[in-house]
Chain A
Amino acid sequence: MINFSFDGKTYQAEKGDTLAAALLRNGIGLVGRSFKYHRPRGIMTAGVEEPNALVTIGDGGRTEPNTRATDVFVYEGLVAKSQNRWPNLSFDIGSVFGLAAPVLSAGFYYKTFFGSAKRWMIYEYFIRKAAGLGNAPTKTDPDHFSQRAAFCDVLVVGAGPAGLSAALEAAEAGKRAILVEQDNILCASLIRDGQDRDGAWVESTQARIRAAGGRILTRTTASGYWEHDLVTLTQRIAEPGQIPLHGVAQRLWHVRAGQVILATGSIERPMAFAHNDRPGVMLSQAVRTYVRRFGVVPGKRVVIATNNDDAYKTAYALKAAGAEVVAILDARPAPAGADSGLPVYNNAVPLSTNGARHCLKSVTARINGLTQSWNADLIAVSGGFTPVVHLHMQAGGTLDWNDAAQAFVPAASRQNVTTIGGAANPDPVFNVVPVSKPKKSFIDFQNDVTLSDVDLAWAEGYRSVEHLKRYTTLGMATDQGKLSNMAALGRLAEKQGVAIPEAGLTTFRPPYTPVTMGLLAGAGAKDAGAHVRRLALYDVHAAKNPIWQPLGYWFRPRAYPAGNETLAQAAMREAKAVRSNVGMTDVSTLAKFEVSGPDAAAFLEIICATTVGKLAVGRGRYTFMLREDGFVFDDGTVWRLDENRYLLTSSTGGADRMATHISYVRQYLCPHLRVSAVNVQEHYAGIAVAGPQAKAALAALIGEEPPRHMSTVPAMISGVPVIVLAASYSGERAFEIYVEASHAGPVWAACEAEVTKQGGALYGLEAMEFLRIEKGHLVVGGEVDGRMTPHDLALDKMLNKAGGYVGASGLSRPALSEAGRRQLVGLEAIEGNIPEGAMLITGEGASPQGHVSAAAFRILDGGSIALGQLTDGFARHGEELIATSPTRGQMARVRVVAPHFYDTAGERYRD
């Protein structure tokens, strides 16, 4: 015996029980409350299509809400709770909604709350509490979810007799075969149908498949069929809420199959009659499954309602188990030739059920136009069979209408997939048109949709089945209409006066059954959601305990606080060190490309919008790049290291984009050029040394006269070869030292020793931002936001007049260089501090004419300054505006100035 609990009470289950079987074994018929009307609901099926018996399984982080009691196997200690009820399952306050059912019809929310958004906000709070399923867990799932890729020649989905035979044939033909089954045993239908004498065949076939190299996965659902015969499998290694033996709870498989065989069988349909949602109404095959597979007889006095032969097997199974079959209501006019001794009625359809205390008490039927009732505690219903065509349809297949079976069956597919067994050949049935009260006749049990809701939608003009679905919510939620879609289609077709195939179908979308979020996240959960790119000098920085700044996938020191300094205090101290003495920082993340070959200069003049060819060896210059439409998308520097060898740098954030762009231009647009463009971003670590004392520090480091501004020399520091570039982002005399990343440690140490000796400081990204704003240097993603042309940024004088660069023809459109566009400006505060991101307006109520892209304070002199974009900004220097940020509740009065606040003559970075 296995102990489990349901709503806090402990019960016993038999080995192999599903939770549904165990609940029935303990006489529990009432399992949940319905979504909208809080009607009492029981167990209707024995499979994944279960719409009613949804429970929350497990505790804490392992909690799994909305789990079908029919799709979880009981283990020792399983904890299950019913859902959508308060204060408890048998007395549920929310069931007053059931009394209000006539008002809560299709489109209720739309009609009631149309118009007033304020009222909706209030109602929504109560509706969300009242209508719903289980609650999502709030704690972290402690388990692991793994993902795995696999390849096979033949993937067989569904291990009934047809699937098992197909897998055997494939495996023994030498093909790599995978057989998947969502149940925990194979061929459960043979047990259900009393053919378990074939158990030996099932055993030996499994053994033969495995011996031939085939793989059999149970508790594994083929949940999605994607392009080019990729099928995703979701494998339960532990049951919901169970502590996994080896840590892994579930596994997601990506299987690329040469051929897919679907042996997915069919799902039995319910019938529409009044109060057909009561506990005690169960599908016929489900009843048979509980009797034969689990040894649980869900009723003592049973009525069977059917339109086909299959339900008679249920009658035999019940009789053999000692239950009394009081009536078989067969909708077909002629006798089916059943065993004598069964109370068969032809031309008979169920009308309604009666019940008390959440149990079924009696069934009323119409037989040849007359009404008759029976006392009964169970009605087994079979309204025909719906082939499981979900995967076939996800694969882009089409369907044929099988009139004898009143069902859609798989037809053509554009992928390599075939359907076999019951899913391709459903049993013939007799078409039954419901005659009962439509308001109480449910067709979608999970969403509380009745026949009358379909009628109402039709009356209100909803003609398309897709509209019907959205208006009534039919076919949504965890069961995705597995039981309801055909009934709704039948009703819609009847209203339209057309055959069902003409009424249309809704789209079949993955997943076939619900998938947990953990499974999809897999190992990407927790800290592994995005990869981390570490600086070569990461450990050196980490030892100084900086404030880190995420920058794309990188982390860079934002500031190195001393003692109790705040970020702002530390950054200002660091920036002052650069302005008055010397500072150093890690610039390794900058994009770097080594471009070499006889056509290197020609290639760079295609990538860059500035001239490059005239650059002398050992010299460098500022450059920028355009998109094909003429807008600036990155900037950097280009250096001629050798006759035919250049180094191109560009922004950190745009590095990957620039690498792709350079590769595209080289490989696709210019395959004829004799050039090599190599991404060396992580090959080199970079150290910037800046400040009035930078030149002295560098002279001491390299033992020779440092290069003049915008020049480059190869040098040695601590015996390590380096490239020294004299370039300034801060506005001070500055150098960038590039060294092979694996040798960066000693070079950094030497630089730090020298900077410390000079009385300087390390500085981080925040200080760098202060320095560059004051100097009016651009940031890609800030001032260069994808909407600015070279003209808007006052870079147009640097454009290569010969053209030929990417974006030249786009930029030639007149509107891109017109006056009056948004243009780069500087802003200085007259009153208040300028808020970052503020909009620029001329007065209260006026439309924004621009925005603040970066704000800071003058480093040595104090005072709030900013860079921004302003309509016709070049012509408005001296004008006063308001910079306001309503979201922060901050504003400042500002004056428009040139975007240079420091050393406007550019004397400080030259010797």
Chain B
Amino acid sequence: MMQFTCPHCGPRDQAEFIYERTVDAVVSLDAAPEDAMKSLFTRNNPRGVDEEIWRHTYGCRAWMVIARNRVTNEISATRAVGPEALP
């Protein structure tokens, strides 16, 4: 089980989080149909770092983007998302 650092709660067990999808699989609301299909069905699958969306479901319920190396599980960055994280 991995350990993530929630931007709001600090280090927590992976069991408190639920995985959503990778950032490249996000379908924006104004996506053209072909782009939407690409995001849904022909996603990247890099051997190395990928950006993943997780939610601290069994904690503060906030969403975040975690940059995780899929080979070593090294977490290189975590950033909050949502209205409060808007610039």
Contacts and interface: CB of A to CB of B under 8 A. Distances in A.
Given A230-B3, A671-B85, A813-B37, A664 B72 contact: no
Nearest to A810: B36
A669 B29 contact: yes
Nearest to A665: B29
Given A396-B72, A667-B81, 5 more contacts: A227-B73, A663-B61, A667-B62, A671-B86, A809-B31
Interface string A660-678: 1001100111111000000
A467 interface: no
Nearest to B82: A667
- By Cβ-Cβ distance, the 8 closest A-B pairs, closest first, are A667-B82, A809-B36, A228-B3, A227-B2, A809-B33, A671-B83, A667-B63, A628-B27
Contact of A809 (B3, B32, B61): B32
Interface in A402-420: 414
Contacts of A663: 55, 61, 63
Nearest to A671: B83
Contacts of A254: 1, 13
20 contacts: A149-B13, A226-B1, A228-B2, A228-B3, A228-B73, A230-B1, A628-B27, A628-B36, A663-B63, A664-B55, A667-B83, A670-B29, A671-B81, A671-B83, A671-B85, A809-B27, A809-B31, A809-B32, A809-B36, A810-B37
B82 A629 contact: no
A804 interface: yes
Interface in A555-572: none
B58 to A, nearest CB: 12
A806 interface: yes
A406 to B, nearest CB: 30
A606 B29 CA distance: 8
A639 B40 CA distance: 32
Contacts, number: 74
A668 B72 contact: no
A806 B29 contact: yes
Contact of A672 (B18, B32, B62, B86): B86
A411 to B, nearest CB: 15
Contact of A804 (B29, B81, B86): B29
B45 interface: no
A652 B28 CA distance: 28
Contacts of A822: none
Contacts of A667: 62-63, 81-83
A812 B61 CA distance: 33
Contacts of A809: 27, 31-33, 35-36
Interface in A201-243: 226-228, 230
Interface in B69-87: 72-74, 81-83, 85-86
Interface string A106-119: 00000000000000
A629 B81 contact: no
A672 B3 contact: no
B29 A227 contact: no
Interface in B9-25: 13-14, 18, 20
B75 to A, nearest CB: 8
Interface in A369-404: 396
Contacts of A228: 1-3, 73
A672 B72 CA distance: 35
A669 B36 CA distance: 14
Nearest to B85: A671
A288 interface: no
B27 to A, nearest CB: 5
A524 to B, nearest CB: 13
Contacts of B30: 804
A664 B81 CA distance: 10
A812 B57 CA distance: 33
A256 interface: yes
B40 A810 contact: yes
Nearest to B32: A809
Nearest to B81: A668
A803 to B, nearest CB: 9
B53 interface: yes
A658 to B, nearest CB: 14
A660 B18 contact: yes
Given A606-B29, A670-B29, A664 B20 contact: yes
A557 to B, nearest CB: 30
Contacts of B82: 667-668, 671
B26 interface: yes
Contacts of B55: 660, 663-664
Given A804-B29, A809-B33, A810-B40, A672 B83 contact: yes
Given A669-B28, A671-B82, A809-B33, A629 B40 contact: yes
Interface in B26-56: 26-33, 35-37, 40, 53, 55
Contacts of B81: 667-668, 671
A804 B20 CA distance: 22
Contacts of B85: 671
Contacts of A672: 83, 86
Contacts of B28: 669
A601 to B, nearest CB: 15
B55 to A, nearest CB: 7
A259 to B, nearest CB: 14
A254 B14 CA distance: 13
Given A628-B40, A671-B85, A672-B83, A813 B33 contact: yes
B20 to A, nearest CB: 6
Contacts of A628: 27, 36, 40
Contacts of A414: 72-74
Contacts of B29: 606, 669-670, 804, 806
Contacts of A669: 26, 28-29
Contacts of A629: 40
Contact of A812 (B33, B62, B72, B74): B33
B16 to A, nearest CB: 12
A128 to B, nearest CB: 35
Contact of B53 (A226, A668, A670, A813): A668
A149 B53 CA distance: 26
A256 B40 contact: no
Contacts of A230: 1, 3
A6 B55 CA distance: 55
Contacts of B86: 671-672
Nearest to A256: B3
A401 B69 CA distance: 28
B10 to A, nearest CB: 12
